[in-house]
Amino acid sequence: MDGHNHVPERLIVVSNRLPVTVKRAGGGFEYTPSVGGLATTLNALREDMEMIWIGTPGINVGSADEFQRIETDLRERFDSVPLQLSAEQFDKYYLGFSNGCIWPLFHYFPQFAHYDHEEWEAYRDVNARFCEKVLEHAGPNDTIWVHDYHLMLLPAMIREALPDAIIGYFLHIPFPSYEIFRTLPWREEILRGLIGSDLVGFHSYGYARHFLSSLLRILGLDQDFGRVNLGDRTIRVDTFPLGVDVERFAGARELPEVQDELENLREQVAGKKVILSVDRLDFTKGILERMEAFERFLATRPEWLGKVSLITLLVPSRTQVPEYQQLKKQVDETIGRINGEFGLPGWTPITYLYRFLPFEKLAPLYLLADVGLVTPLRDGMNLVAKEYIATRTDDTGVLILSETAGAAAEMGEAIIVNPHDEEMIVEALEQALNLSLEDQVERNRVMRARLKRYDTNRWAADFITQMEALRDIRRSNLPRRLRDDLRQSLLNAYREADRRLLLLDYDGTLVKFAPTPEGARPDAELIKILSELEQPENNQVVVISGRDAETLEGWLGQAGIDLVAEHGARFRKDGGGGWKEAEEITVGNWKEELRPVFDVFVDRTPGALLEEKGHALVWHYRRAEPGLGLQRAAELTETLEGYVANTSLHILQGHKVVEVKPSMVSKGRAAQPWLHEKPEYDFILAIGDDVTDEALFEALPEDGWSVKVGIPERSKARFFVSDSAEVRRLLKDLQDTD
Ligand code: ADQ
């Protein structure tokens, strides 16, 4: 994430369903685009880029002729490409493997997951069919964004055919812990399918962590702050918490039809408090458990009888599946029982709606409800919780939210409950119904501000920006390995030069890292190499280090070389001379420039905040989820490095903080006195391993030999070597060259 907006030339979105519903009407077909949610968000991208969407049309047509008509219509009117599957194939892939195996397993219901080989094969075949469709439309450099658990094998299939495409994948449901995932007979194939992507995104850091740990334990692939090295390429694993269309929900209050409906509802509830829950009818949503908790609330808090109602809105879902039919039956029975047991004339404890409500009917319910009760047993994100808060622009209302919904990571101000703990839900209800207005507003204001900043558009832009940034990294000239031929050229250039300058970092470059700072003292061989390299009249060796002057003096003073300490704050030039202080330099309005960069990381890291000091910007992540905080801190630092290289700004990674402030020093600046010496050096070699050395690499003239030690990614150096042992060999070769 670098704060810049990159836009691909062409984006291909692939998901199980197209964002258009096709129905037979009269003699022809009728097309209804989906509104709200992901479909609207992604379709809005069409303003900025060419985009096509590939998916199933949700209708089964018999004849090839009819399908062709649909295909033409969808293509022309919606830039959408339908994929035709036979009913049998669709059932096995969709109801069978996707929803009968992956859905329950990934939501921690292994007892509901059936492992059926035939269904798995159908899943694989359908993913291959999707791949064919993608290949009909994708060019070698296109950006392809694959969605959700129906298409986990697709990224690798596309990768095989289009090795240079940028492929992103987003999972909308949880990725379960390794102990659950490992039970899947096809765990390896699924992981291999997913790592065909360049970028794998999840709703929350927990899911990303589970995925990474499965990669390690099943495929032996290790990670480094969300980067997984596959040898020939690197993939990124990151979190992108999906938001809602805040503007749309916030605007609901203003719509006349919403106001009318709200009025209606208010009359019906006649002053009683309202608790609202809204879900797809699915076993993961904790619907029965929630009703039983409400039953217990009524039984144990009789003072609320007749004064509070639960409105339950359920959308029919996967109605052909026996387990879902069974659940529907249980829900009906439970509601009947509770209403029979507690109902009074003029008061029904639970009102039950079993249908999809359009926005104009749903929003009034959000506005009506005093309490939003969102208690899924597991949920990838849960958008209902966010919609409830986003709609209530006066910040009243209380959200009760499951800790096992992805949304809980960002909505810590809600009353968070364990959805399996009936007593906890009962207490939460009591607390919610009694919460003062000020408390309500205080909690919701924070959440709503967060939702506003990271809404659906921002989410999509963020994901796409990261995909494009990966393309940039791939295109940029990464350092090349200092292979034998290049090394030979370096040695030749050294031999032929009249004046040679060697700028060397110390820790990690001249010596290996030691467990303690004192442990990295130079060995006799190193001192010998350095002093011998310094010997010839036309050679100058400078060690530029972050260490303090006393240590450098003590360790390297006898070699007779020049020394720079504390990244340039102090230096000792011309062998024996004493130590001097570098002058302080200031930079312009750096805070204005860097604040947006920090803001992005505040938005993307729930719990993080930005503090502005007189001479510093400080990003705090103490209250963020620990792992995510660390990962973001590393990313932020990396991003900031790009901005501060060659300035006098300095990044400090403190205890749960990342801080930027001006300092007097950078290694690039520290090297200036030597780089500007007359007569000029005609051979300049700089070697270093860490981020502070980047400024040094950048300060070098174009024909300078800059060498990075370690992983070459994101380095400004021209070449790289693996480790300090290789550096040592190179220095010895230089010595032998004369
Ligand atoms: P879902 O399991 O469908 O989505 P959720 O995120 O809550 O769960 O989305 C439901 C959407 O449907 C909401 O926008 C809601 O307004 C709407 N809805 C629900 N009931 C409705 C009704 N009766 N009438 C009208 N609208 C209704 C999956 C994952 C989630 C993840 C999303 C997005 O299971 O965890 O948040 O994808 O990635």
Q: What is the per-residue pLDDT across 49-80, written as a single tens digit (0 to 9) for each?
A: 899 999 999 888 878 888 999 999 999 999 99
Residue 660 CA, ligand 1 centroid: distance in Å = 41
Q: At what angle do helices 383-391 and 437-453 cross, to 10 degrees?
A: 110
- Residue 2 has a pLDDT of 38
Nearest CA to ligand 1 atom 2: 280
- Residue 3 has a pLDDT of 39
Whether the CB-CB separation of 607 and 624 falls below 8 Å is answered with yes
Q: Is 298 in the pocket of ligand 1 (CB under 6 A)?
A: no
Checking if the pLDDT of 477 tops 70, the result is: no
Residue 207 CA, ligand 1 centroid: distance in Å = 19
Q: Is 711 exposed, middle or buried (0-12, 13-18, 19+ CB in 10 A)?
A: middle
Paired with 606 in beta bridges are none
Residues with Cβ within 8 Å of 594's Cβ and at least 6 positions away in sequence, in order, are 617, 640, 643, 660
At residue 1 the predicted structure's pLDDT band, cuts being 50, 70 and 90, is very low
pLDDT digits (tens, 9 = 90+) for 548-567: 899 999 999 999 999 998 88
Q: Is 346 helix (H, G, I), strand (E, B) or coil?
A: coil
- Cα–Cα distances (Å) from 360 to 357, 366, 501, in that order, read 8, 11, 73
Whether the CB-CB separation of 261 and 360 falls below 8 Å is answered with yes
- Residue 422 has a pLDDT of 97
Checking if the pLDDT of 611 tops 80, the result is: yes
For 386-420, give the DSSP string: HHHHHH-TT--SEEEEETTBGGGGT-TTSEEE-TT
Residue 17 CA, ligand 1 centroid: distance in Å = 15
pLDDT digits (tens, 9 = 90+) for 282-319: 999 999 999 999 999 999 999 999 999 999 999 999 88
Which residue's structure tokens are 């002058």? 583
Per-residue pLDDT, averaged over 99-113, amounts to 96
Checking if the pLDDT of 179 tops 90, the result is: yes
Fold match between domain 246-453 and domain 481-582+665-737: yes
Report the distance separating Cα 675 and Cα 699, nearest Å.
9
Per-residue pLDDT, averaged over 713-729, amounts to 88
Q: Is 627 exposed, middle or buried (0-12, 13-18, 19+ CB in 10 A)?
A: middle
Neighbouring CB atoms inside 10 A of 488's CB total 11
CATH code of domain 246-453: 3.40.50.2000
Report the distance separating Cα 694 and Cα 668, nearest Å.
8
Rounded to the nearest angstrom, the gap between the alpha carbon of residue 569 and the centroid of all alpha carbons in its chain is 38
Paired with 504 in beta bridges are 543, 687
Smallest Cα–Cα separation from 138: which of 6, 8, 233, 11? Answer: 11
Closest ligand 1 atom to 313 CA: 23
Report the distance separating Cα 585 and Cα 570, nearest Å.
14
Smallest Cα–Cα separation from 332: which of 281, 375, 389, 373? Answer: 281
Report the distance separating Cα 469 and Cα 3, nearest Å.
10
With b for 16 or more beta-carbon neighbours within 10 A and e for fewer, the 652-668 pattern comes to eeeebbbbbbbbbbbbb
Checking if the pLDDT of 231 tops 70, the result is: no
Rounded to the nearest angstrom, the gap between the alpha carbon of residue 392 and the centroid of all alpha carbons in its chain is 28
Identify the H or E element spanning 422: helix 422-434
Residues with Cβ within 8 Å of 682's Cβ and at least 6 positions away in sequence, in order, are 497, 498, 499, 500
Per-residue pLDDT, averaged over 333-356, amounts to 95
With b for 16 or more beta-carbon neighbours within 10 A and e for fewer, the 542-573 pattern comes to bbbbbbebebbeebbbebebbbbbbbbbbbbb
Q: Which of 4-8, 130-134, 160-164, 284-288 has the lowest mean pLDDT?
A: 4-8
Q: Average pLDDT over the chain, rounded to whole?
A: 91
Report the distance separating Cα 191 and Cα 733, nearest Å.
45
Q: Is 172 in the pocket of ligand 1 (CB under 6 A)?
A: yes
Closest ligand 1 atom to 407 CA: 36
- Residue 110 has a pLDDT of 96
Report the distance separating Cα 580 and Cα 557, nearest Å.
15
Q: Is 387 in the pocket of ligand 1 (CB under 6 A)?
A: yes
Report the distance separating Cα 390 and Cα 449, nearest Å.
9
Per-residue pLDDT, averaged over 423-430, amounts to 98
Checking if the pLDDT of 526 tops 80, the result is: yes
At residue 664 the predicted structure's pLDDT band, cuts being 50, 70 and 90, is low
Per-residue pLDDT, averaged over 428-445, amounts to 97
Q: Is 380 in the pocket of ligand 1 (CB under 6 A)?
A: yes
Nearest CA to ligand 1 atom 18: 279
In this structure, what are the phi and psi dihedrals at residue 481, rounded to the nearest 5 degrees? -60, 140
Checking if the pLDDT of 36 tops 80, the result is: no
CATH code of domain 481-582+665-737: 3.40.50.1000
Q: Which of 12-16, 291-295, 472-476 has the lowest mean pLDDT?
A: 472-476
Q: Is 173 in the pocket of ligand 1 (CB under 6 A)?
A: yes
Residue 279 CA, ligand 1 centroid: distance in Å = 6
Report the distance separating Cα 212 and Cα 244, nearest Å.
27
Higher pLDDT, 399 or 66: 399
CATH code of domain 590-662: 3.30.70.1020
Q: Which of 451-465, 531-545, 654-668 has the lowest mean pLDDT?
A: 654-668
Paired with 146 in beta bridges are 14, 169
Q: Where are the domains of the chain?
A: 11-84, 246-453, 481-582+665-737, 590-662
Residues with Cβ within 8 Å of 199's Cβ and at least 6 positions away in sequence, in order, are 166, 167, 168, 169, 235, 236, 237, 238, 463, 466, 467, 470
Which residue's structure tokens are 């009913």? 87
Mode of pairing for the β-strands spanning 500-504 and 539-544: parallel
Paired with 29 in beta bridges are 24
Checking if the pLDDT of 532 tops 90, the result is: yes
- Residue 665 has a pLDDT of 65
At residue 320 the predicted structure's pLDDT band, cuts being 50, 70 and 90, is confident
* Catalytic residue annotation: 505
Higher pLDDT, 496 or 470: 496
What is the distance in angstroms between the CA of the first residue and the CA of the last residue of the chain? 47
Closest ligand 1 atom to 37 CA: 14
Per-residue pLDDT, averaged over 594-623, amounts to 85
Note the pTM of the prediction, 2 decimals: 0.77
Per-residue pLDDT, averaged over 322-345, amounts to 95
- Residue 575 has a pLDDT of 59
At residue 4 the predicted structure's pLDDT band, cuts being 50, 70 and 90, is very low
Residue 315 CA, ligand 1 centroid: distance in Å = 9
Q: Is 313 in the pocket of ligand 1 (CB under 6 A)?
A: yes
Whether the CB-CB separation of 548 and 561 falls below 8 Å is answered with no
Q: Is 390 in the pocket of ligand 1 (CB under 6 A)?
A: no
- Residue 183 has a pLDDT of 97
- Residue 162 has a pLDDT of 93
Smallest Cα–Cα separation from 602: which of 454, 403, 443? Answer: 454
